[in-house]
Amino acid sequence: MLQKRSFLWFLMALLCTAALWMATPGSARADGGARGADPGKRPLVIGHRGASGYLPEHTLEAYALAIELGADFIEPDLVATKDGVLIARHEPNITATTNVSTLPQFADRRKTRIVDGVSETGWFATDFTWAELQQVRAVQAFGERDQGFNGLYRIPSFDEVIALAKRKSAEEGRTIGVYPETKHPTFHQQLGLALEDRLLHVLQKHGWNHRSAPVFIQSFEQANLKYLRGKTSVRLVQLVDADDVAPDGSITYAAPFDRPYDWAVAGRTGTFGDLVTPAGLAEVRTYADGVGPWKPYLISAACINVVAGRCADANGDGLVNDADRRLLAPSAVIANAHAQGLFVHTWTFRSEQRRLASNYRGMPANEYLAFYEAGVDGLFSDFPDTAVVARTLWLLKKDPDAAKCLVDGKHGRQGSCKGLRWLNAN
């Protein structure tokens, strides 16, 4: 997978594989077609904030590692600096993901701001210039993950993330795409730092502002996607959030995770859940190409033991978490989205034991297998290596010929398959 090959060689292999695919009426093609909006495609593995399970999120190093581990796309969340540069951060508030609170030169930048109706105190990207942010270094935001890389890597711009994707594409001999998210579009618009045109400007600079570019633009808000639809043909994805999952596995809603924030501002009622009903999906289809529901919308899990209306420790480890839940049957959301011609990319896959429902028996690969089997077209993972291995296992289960490719390498599939690289090539 990490071996290099020339672009020409890659192109020829791609054409041969495509030709064989078209000519083969076998199970693999039928399986691909069954997934609706993306016929013939394998599910995409999207490196969520890079390989953020291993390295501090939203750094060039985390993105590069995700690519080395086999991710098809890397995911930069975008916020704006004071001087309008789009940078990769999960939030305008950079306190939890950087060392900014420890830098004396920026002590006076600590502020309280309202983000989507919620008061937050900390250091905000919108109070720093791009040049100033070069003094800041990223840290691992998850306490249970390796803190040994804290303070080493800087914050990249979106421009640099695309440049990395292009550079690594050439090195790897495969196309690596970017999956930017407009973070808190209304917040940025209210500050005069609207993200949308800036995002398109950077894509345009790199020649990636067109339909077939390896780009998806995602947002939890709706109005900015509708605006973007009028200005670009790049594929757009409506994200669908929620607050939590009740003990019975039903999805719960509480501000600010109850509805898109632009709905709240405009006085539109309803919840995120409305967007994944058949009527909601039909609305999404008018401006977007895909939908990105939180994974419990697709397969939820209920508490095994409920005491006084709350989840109880079912596995006896003294903790109450996802390991104390049992999976419910998959919902109809994927089928309903595919019926509308929308693809489905879901999130977020994480390997820690406490995040895995009991059915997965402590094996992260089992969770990926469940969602691939349910028909997702892609998923966001903090651990893209596991997502890629699980995809190979899934392909082996679905297509008996895939095993020949795995074992025989270039001799399998009439000389067209290249072992694991064939299995994982999109």
Span of 130-138, 322-330, 379-387, 417-425 interacting with Ca ion by CB under 5 A: 322-330
Of 310 and 411, CB closest to Ca ion:
310
Whose Cβ is closer to Ca ion: residue 191's or residue 304's?
304
Q: Is 24 or 366 the residue whose CB approaches Ca ion more closely?
A: 366
Q: Is 266 in the site for Ca ion (CB under 5 A)?
A: no
Residue 203 beta carbon to Ca ion: minimum distance, rounded to whole angstroms: 45
Among 15, 19, 266, 319, binds Ca ion (CB under 5 A): 319
Q: Which stretch binds Ca ion (CB under 5 A): 57-65, 76-84, 233-241, 310-318?
A: 310-318
Only segment of 43-51, 101-109, 306-314, 407-415 that touches Ca ion (CB under 5 A): 306-314
45, two tokens = 């593995």
Q: Specify the residue, 324 or 385, whose C-beta has the smaller distance to Ca ion.
A: 324
Comparing CB distances to Ca ion, the nearer of 197 and 317 is 317
CB of 146 to Ca ion, least distance (A): 24
- Estimate the share of the chain in helix, then strand, then coil, as percent rounded to the nearest 5: 40, 20, 40
Q: Would you say 258 or 324 has its CB closer to Ca ion? A: 324
Interaction of residue 313 with Ca ion, rule CB under 5 A: yes
Q: Measured from the CB of residue 317, what is the shortest distance to Ca ion in angstroms?
A: 4
Which part of the chain contacts Ca ion (CB under 5 A), choosing from 29-37, 89-97, 158-166, 307-315? 307-315
CA distance 345 to 392: 18
Q: Which two tokens stand for residue 192?
A: 């005069």
Q: Which residues of 178-210 are buried (b: 16+ CB within 10 A; e: fewer)?
A: bbbbbbbbbbbbebebbbbebbbebbeebebbe
**Lookup: tokens for 12:** 């020829």
Q: Which residue do the tokens 């209920």 mark?
A: 302
Question: CB under 5 A: which stretch of 125-133, 266-274, 316-324, 337-345 binds Ca ion?
Answer: 316-324
At closest approach, how far in Å is the CB of 311 from Ca ion?
9
Task: For 192-241, list the strands marked E by DSSP.
Answer: 216-219, 235-240
Tell me the CB-side half-sphere exposure of residue 344, using CA atoms within 13 A. Answer: 28
Dist CA 103 CA 35 (whole Å): 50
How far apart are alpha carbons 93 and 125 in whole angstroms? Answer: 6
DSSP 400: H
| Nearest-5° Cα angle at 211, 4 to 219 | 95
CB-based contacts of 121, cutoff 8 Å, min separation 6: 110, 111, 112
Residues for the chain: how many in total?
A: 426
Tell me the two tokens of residue 69: 């581990």
**Given candidates 146, 197, 317, 373, which one binds Ca ion under the rule CB under 5 A?**
317
- The first and second tokens of residue 362, run together, are 């402590």
Work out how close the CB of 355 gets to Ca ion at its nearest, in angstroms, rounded to a whole number. 12
315 binds Ca ion (CB under 5 A): yes
| Comparison of 331 and 358: residue with beta carbon closer to Ca ion | 358
Residues 216-245 that bind Ca ion (CB under 5 A): none
Identify which of residues 60 and 320 has a Cβ nearer to Ca ion in the complex.
320
Closer CB to Ca ion, 163 or 304, in the complex: 304
Give, in degrees to the nearest 5, the angle at Cα 117 between 111 and 121: 20
Give 42 or 325: the residue with its C-beta nearer to Ca ion.
Answer: 325
Query: Binders of Ca ion: how many residues, by CB under 5 A?
Result: 5
Among 38, 324, 367, 385, binds Ca ion (CB under 5 A): 324
Under rule CB under 5 A, residue 160 binds Ca ion: no
Q: Is 322 in the site for Ca ion (CB under 5 A)?
A: no
Two structure tokens written together for 219: 């947002």
Shortest distance, position 134 Cβ to Ca ion, whole Å: 44
Pair of tokens at residue 352 = 């820690």
Burial of residue 51 (number of CB atoms within 10 Å: 0-12, 13-18, 19+): buried
Residues of the shown chain interacting with Ca ion in the complex, contacts defined by CB under 5 A: 313, 315, 317, 319, 324
